Chain A
Amino acid sequence: MRYRIGIDVGGTNTDAVIVDESLQVIATAKTPTTPDVMEGIRKAIRLVCHQSRISPEQITTAMLGTTHCTNAIVERSGRLLKTGVIRIGKPAAMSIPPLTDWAQDLADTINGGVYTVTGGHEYDGREIFPLNEDELRAALNELRGKVQALAIVSVFSPVNPAHEKRAAQIAAELMPGIRVTMSHELASIGLLERENAAILNAALYGVAESIARGFQEALLQAGVKRADMYLCQNDGTLMSLDYALRYPILTIACGPTNSIRGASYLSGSENAIVLDIGGTTSDIGVVRQGFPRESSAAVNIGGVRTGFRMPDIVSIGLGGGTIIRTEGGQIRIGPDSVGYRLREKALVFGGDTLTATDIAVRLGLADIGDPAKVEHVDLACARRAHEIMMDMIQEGIDRMKLSKDPLPLIVVGGGSVLIRDQEDGLEGVSEVVRPPHFPVVNAVGAAVAQASGQVDEIYSLQIMDRDQAVEQAKSLAIKRAVLAGADPASTGIVEVDVIPLAYLGNAIRVRVKATGSLA
Chain B
Amino acid sequence: MIMLDEQAIEDIAIGAALLGSGGGGDPYVGKLMALASIRECGPVPLIRAEEVPDEALVVPSAMMGAPLVLIEKLPNGQEFERAFRALGKYMGQEVYATMPLEAGGINSMVPIAVAARLGLPLIDSDGMGRAFPELQMVTFHLHGISAAPMAMADEKGNHVLMDAISNHWAENIARSVTVTMGAGAMIGLYAMTGAQLKQAGIHGIMSFSRKIGEIIRESRKTETSPTRKIAEFTGGYLLFQGKITDVARGMEGGFNRGVVRLEGIGNGKGSSLEVEFQNENLLARIDGEIAASTPDLICLLDLETAEPFTTESLRYGRRAELLVLPCHEMWRTEQGLKVVGPRYFGYDCDYVPIEELAKRRGR
- B180: nearest residue on chain A (CB-CB)? A122
Tally the A-B contacts, defined by beta carbons under 8 Å. Answer: 141
Which of these, A120, A293, A395, A504, contacts B317 with CB under 8 Å? A293
Q: Are A93 and B76 in contact (CB under 8 A)?
A: yes
Mark each residue of chain A from 395 to 414: 1 if its CB lies under 8 Å from any CB of chain B, else 0: 10011111100000000000
A296-B313, A502-B279 given; A95·B256 CB < 8 A:
no
Q: Does residue A133 face the partner (Cβ distance < 8 Å to B)?
A: no
Which of these, B32, B65, B77, B314, contacts A192 with CB under 8 Å? B32
Selected interface stretch from B189-197, B261-269, B342-350: B261-269
B251 contacts across to A, CB distance below 8 A: 500-502, 505
Q: Does residue B73 face the partner (Cβ distance < 8 Å to A)?
A: yes
Selected interface stretch from B33-41, B52-60, B97-105, B289-297: B33-41
Report the separation of the CA atoms of residues A501 and B178 in the bound assembly, to the nearest whole angstrom. Answer: 14
A97-B36, A128-B182, A395-B266 given; A89·B256 CB < 8 A:
no
A364 contacts across to B, CB distance below 8 A: none
Which of these, B78, B182, B249, B269, contacts A499 with CB under 8 Å? B249
Mark each residue of chain B from 316 to 333: 1 if its CB lies under 8 Å from any CB of chain A, else 0: 111100000000000000
User: Is the interface on chain B under 10, 10 to 19, 20 to 34, or 35 or more residues?
Assistant: 35 or more
Q: Are B317 and A400 in contact (CB under 8 A)?
A: yes
Name B68-85 residues within 8 Å CB distance of A.
Answer: 68-69, 71-78
B74 contacts across to A, CB distance below 8 A: 92-96, 155, 191-192
Report the separation of the CA atoms of residues A365 and B35 in the bound assembly, to the nearest whole angstrom. Answer: 56
Q: Does residue A91 face the partner (Cβ distance < 8 Å to B)?
A: yes
Q: Does residue B42 face the partner (Cβ distance < 8 Å to A)?
A: no
Q: Are B113 and A95 in contact (CB under 8 A)?
A: yes
Q: Are B68 and A501 in contact (CB under 8 A)?
A: yes
Q: Does residue A190 face the partner (Cβ distance < 8 Å to B)?
A: yes
A126 contacts across to B, CB distance below 8 A: 182
Mark each residue of chain A from 279 to 310: 1 if its CB lies under 8 Å from any CB of chain B, else 0: 00000001000000111100000000100000
Q: Does residue B92 face the partner (Cβ distance < 8 Å to A)?
A: no
Least distance between A456 CB and chain B CB atoms (Å): 12
Q: Does residue A135 face the partner (Cβ distance < 8 Å to B)?
A: no
Which of these, B32, B303, B319, contacts A101 with CB under 8 Å? B32
Which of these, B32, B33, B69, B303, contacts A503 with CB under 8 Å? B69
Q: Does residue A509 face the partner (Cβ distance < 8 Å to B)?
A: yes
Q: Are A191 and B317 in contact (CB under 8 A)?
A: no
Least distance between B32 CB and chain A CB atoms (Å): 5
A503-B65, A505-B251 given; A95·B33 CB < 8 A:
yes
A95-B77, A123-B66 given; A504·B33 CB < 8 A:
no
Which of these, B36, B76, B279, contacts A91 with CB under 8 Å? B76
Q: Are A189 and B71 in contact (CB under 8 A)?
A: yes
Report the separation of the CA atoms of residues A512 and B113 in the bound assembly, to the nearest whole angstrom. Answer: 37
Report the separation of the CA atoms of residues A95 and B183 in the bound assembly, to the nearest whole angstrom. Answer: 18
Name B216-253 residues within 8 Å CB distance of A.
Answer: 243-245, 249-251
A93-B73, A155-B73 given; A503·B179 CB < 8 A:
yes
A462 contacts across to B, CB distance below 8 A: none
Least distance between A174 CB and chain B CB atoms (Å): 27
Q: Does residue B141 face the partner (Cβ distance < 8 Å to A)?
A: no
Q: Does residue B29 face the partner (Cβ distance < 8 Å to A)?
A: yes
- A190: nearest residue on chain B (CB-CB)? B71
Least distance between B258 CB and chain A CB atoms (Å): 9
Residue among A95, A101, A314, A509 having the largest count of chain B Cβ atoms under 10 Å: A95
Residue among A89, A191, A399 having the largest count of chain B Cβ atoms under 10 Å: A399
Least distance between B253 CB and chain A CB atoms (Å): 8
- A94: nearest residue on chain B (CB-CB)? B76
Mark each residue of chain A from 488 to 511: 1 if its CB lies under 8 Å from any CB of chain B, else 0: 000000000001111111000100
Report the separation of the CA atoms of residues A395 and B304 in the bound assembly, to the nearest whole angstrom. Answer: 14
Q: Does residue A330 face the partner (Cβ distance < 8 Å to B)?
A: no
Mark each residue of chain A from 99 to 133: 1 if its CB lies under 8 Å from any CB of chain B, else 0: 01100000000000000000010110010110000
A96-B36, A123-B66, A399-B265 given; A155·B254 CB < 8 A:
no
Q: Are B36 and A123 in contact (CB under 8 A)?
A: no
A500-B251, A501-B68, A502-B68 given; A92·B245 CB < 8 A:
no
Q: Are B71 and A502 in contact (CB under 8 A)?
A: no
Q: Does residue A3 face the partner (Cβ distance < 8 Å to B)?
A: no
Report the separation of the CA atoms of residues A509 and B69 in the bound assembly, to the nearest whole angstrom. Answer: 12
Q: Are A192 and B182 in contact (CB under 8 A)?
A: no
Report the separation of the CA atoms of residues A93 and B32 in the bound assembly, to the nearest whole angstrom. Answer: 11
Report the separation of the CA atoms of residues A208 and B12 in the bound assembly, to the nearest whole angstrom. Answer: 40
Report the separation of the CA atoms of residues A155 and B154 in the bound assembly, to the nearest whole angstrom. Answer: 15
Q: Are A402 and B179 in contact (CB under 8 A)?
A: no
B265 contacts across to A, CB distance below 8 A: 395, 398-399
A500 contacts across to B, CB distance below 8 A: 249-251, 256
Q: Are A504 and B183 in contact (CB under 8 A)?
A: yes
Report the separation of the CA atoms of residues A93 and B156 in the bound assembly, to the nearest whole angstrom. Answer: 11
Least distance between B190 CB and chain A CB atoms (Å): 21
Residue among B28, B157, B178, B313 having the largest count of chain A Cβ atoms under 10 Å: B28
Report the separation of the CA atoms of residues A316 and B265 in the bound assembly, to the nearest whole angstrom. Answer: 15
Least distance between B17 CB and chain A CB atoms (Å): 14
Q: Does residue A156 face the partner (Cβ distance < 8 Å to B)?
A: yes
Q: Are B73 and A123 in contact (CB under 8 A)?
A: yes
A101-B32, A192-B32, A402-B263 given; A95·B37 CB < 8 A:
yes
- B265: nearest residue on chain A (CB-CB)? A398
Q: Does residue B155 face the partner (Cβ distance < 8 Å to A)?
A: yes
A403 contacts across to B, CB distance below 8 A: 245
Q: Are A128 and B71 in contact (CB under 8 A)?
A: no
Q: Are A91 and B29 in contact (CB under 8 A)?
A: no
Least distance between A290 CB and chain B CB atoms (Å): 16
Report the separation of the CA atoms of residues A92 and B155 in the bound assembly, to the nearest whole angstrom. Answer: 5
Query: 10 smallest A-B Cβ distances: which pairs?
Result: A95-B77, A503-B66, A93-B74, A500-B251, A296-B315, A502-B256, A122-B182, A92-B155, A91-B76, A96-B32
A interface vs B, CB < 8 Å? Answer: 89, 91-97, 100-101, 120, 122-123, 126, 128-129, 155-156, 189-192, 286, 293-296, 305, 312, 314, 395, 398-403, 458, 499-505, 509
CB-defined A-B contacts under 8 Å, sample of 10? A93-B155, A94-B76, A96-B29, A96-B32, A100-B36, A190-B71, A191-B73, A293-B317, A499-B249, A504-B66
B interface vs A, CB < 8 Å? Answer: 28-29, 32-33, 35-37, 65-69, 71-78, 113, 155-157, 175, 178-179, 182-183, 243-245, 249-251, 254-256, 263, 265-266, 269, 279, 303, 313-319
A sample of 15 more A-B contacts (CB under 8 A), given A100-B36, A502-B67, is A92-B73, A92-B74, A94-B75, A95-B36, A128-B182, A190-B71, A191-B71, A398-B269, A400-B317, A402-B244, A402-B245, A403-B245, A500-B249, A502-B279, A503-B183
